[in-house]
Amino acid sequence: MFSFLLASRGHTTSSVRAWLVLCALSMLQFFIAVDVTVVNIALPSIGTDLGVDGHSLTWVVVGYTITGGGLLMLGGRLGDLLGRRRMLLAGTALFGAASLLAGLAPSFALLVAARLLQGAGEAIALPAAMATIVLMFPEGPRRSRALSVWAAVASCGLVLGFVLSGVITAHLGWRWVFLISVPFILVVLVAALFLVERDRLVGRGSVPLDVPGALLLTACPLLFTFGVVEAGEPGTPVWVAPVALAGAVLAGIGFVRVEVRSRDPLLPLGFFANRTRVAANLTTMLLSGALSTSFLLFTFYLQDRLGMGPLGAGVTMLPLAVALIASSMLVPRLLSRWGTRACVLAGIGFTAAAMAVIASAALLDAGAVAMVPAMLLIAAGMGFGIVGLQYVAVGGVTDDDAGTASGVQRAADQLGGSSGVAVCVGIGFAPALHSADPFLVAASLAGVGLIVGALVAWRLPAPAADLRAQDG
């Protein structure tokens, strides 16, 4: 019915359809982003209910983010080969079913399994969703506005996850942090069925999938995170961390070897022949690592250092969500005036300033109000940096590689965030460093990553004319 009504109206209808699709897929993006952070404040309740200690509970968070990030490029490739609409529907359905399973899980093992399935659903659905948006909006102001909405929704989902977690856990119980998304996922499925055009796969034939590459790409960050986290745990055998880190290195080397030899690699090495695209994805990893670290530092400072409750800590972070929306809406206008490099460097600078504020507040034992400037700076850093990097990372894509480009960009964002948290928070809060302020150590490590990111970002397009040329 929706398709018939939309098809009966000319060019304007095509634009309306594009924005309706953007709204539906942004809803999916929102709940996927929420699921990254919504469990953080609910973790103590989960541990009490299922009889699990804090060390084991970390896998409720890490299992989701790393599985999703590691499989994202496989998801993007599946979209290019098997059809974006088909993979969008399959991934969204898997994510919804896994959310239901997580909410009803009678044991911790089943909860972790459900979180892994959620990550797999995200990996299949999100590259298809982002590729659909990229191809529905032409390069120029319309695409930059669409991507800014997409980034703003994701950013607000990450931040509001803390608020929702506090409210839901306090009034409904931890299981509802997973169950609440199920009806909305059903709405996304119905909208995708009616509004997203059917796939055109003529001439693509049957192509083998690079499953070994996907498994190695997932194993590399998983082993790396495990090694960093376990290195700081008291009572852990000395050999565990080095073995895990060595395994991560071997998995990374194995991934490159598989991609070089594969007849149809998960990530064609020629994809990175474009140096601008390489710089954009590498900068995304470094910036996302600092941004993700800031979220946990805010939470730890408000709850552990200042003793605030979950609900109070979540509400205190509301200025961050509001500022994210404002900055993400402003960036598209500035992209056409300043150029992508200036916007990205501004985002990195704002994020670095936020880290300085966090470290200073921790050293001075300042109150919660002192964290508000850091939150506003993080919002600006994410709005300017991530939106600009997304625009560059998917620039010049075609119908054949849009899914791969979207998958690489999403993987860089998510794996960069997970790895950044593992390094900055894992090392900063390690028992071996009790003599140093953990917030200062974590913020300093994030700052080093931002310096490297700024150096890499110099390879991005500088003049604003590159965007104006695309508009014409």
Same domain, 272 and 396: yes
pLDDT value, residue 251 = 92
Residue 95 lies in a domain: yes
pLDDT value, residue 397 = 66
Residue 119 lies in a domain: yes
> How far, in Å, CA of 125 to CA of 283, rounded?
24
Token pair in block for residue 187: 């709405």
> Which of 265, 287, 308 is the endpoint of a domain?
265
CB atoms within 10 A of CB 54: 9
Same domain, 364 and 274: yes
pLDDT value, residue 319 = 85
pLDDT value, residue 1 = 38
E strand intervals along 24-143: none
pLDDT value, residue 89 = 92
Token pair in block for residue 397: 């894509």
CA distances from 321 to 33, 202, 308 (A): 13, 43, 19
Residue 11 lies in a domain: no
Same domain, 238 and 296: no
Residue 467 lies in a domain: yes
Give 102's DSSP letter: H
Same domain, 381 and 449: yes
Same domain, 395 and 288: yes
The CATH number that applies at residue 157 is 1.20.1250.20
Residue 13 lies in a domain: no
How big is the chain, counted in residues?
472
Residue 16 lies in a domain: no
pLDDT value, residue 58 = 67
pLDDT value, residue 435 = 64
pLDDT value, residue 467 = 42
Same domain, 313 and 451: yes
Given a contact cutoff of 8 angstroms between Cβ atoms, the answer to whether 67 and 95 are in contact is: no
For the chain, residues with pLDDT lower than 70 are 1-13, 53-56, 58, 139-140, 155, 158-159, 162, 201-208, 229, 231-235, 396-403, 431-435, 461-472
Same domain, 299 and 443: yes
pLDDT value, residue 67 = 84
Q: Which domain holds residue 255?
A: 210-265
pLDDT value, residue 401 = 65
User: Residues 358, 322, 65, 309: is their CA dihedral positive or negative?
Assistant: positive
3-state helix, strand, coil in the chain (%, to 5): 80, 0, 20
Q: How far does the chain reach from its first CA to its final CA, in angstroms?
A: 35
pLDDT value, residue 169 = 79
Instruction: Give the residue ranges of DSSP H helices in 394-464.
Output: 402-428, 438-457
Residue 204 lies in a domain: no
pLDDT value, residue 434 = 62
pLDDT value, residue 235 = 67
Same domain, 192 and 229: no
Same domain, 319 and 330: yes
DSSP secondary structure letters along 254-313: HHHHHHHH-SS-SS-GGGGG-HHHHHHHHHHHHHHHHHHHHHHHHHHIIIIIT---HHHH
Q: Half-sphere exposure (CA, 13 Å, Cβ side) for 31?
A: 27
58: left (phi over 0), alpha (psi -120 to 50) or beta: alpha
Given a contact cutoff of 8 angstroms between Cβ atoms, the answer to whether 122 and 95 are in contact is: yes
Same domain, 243 and 376: no
| Domains of the chain: total | 2
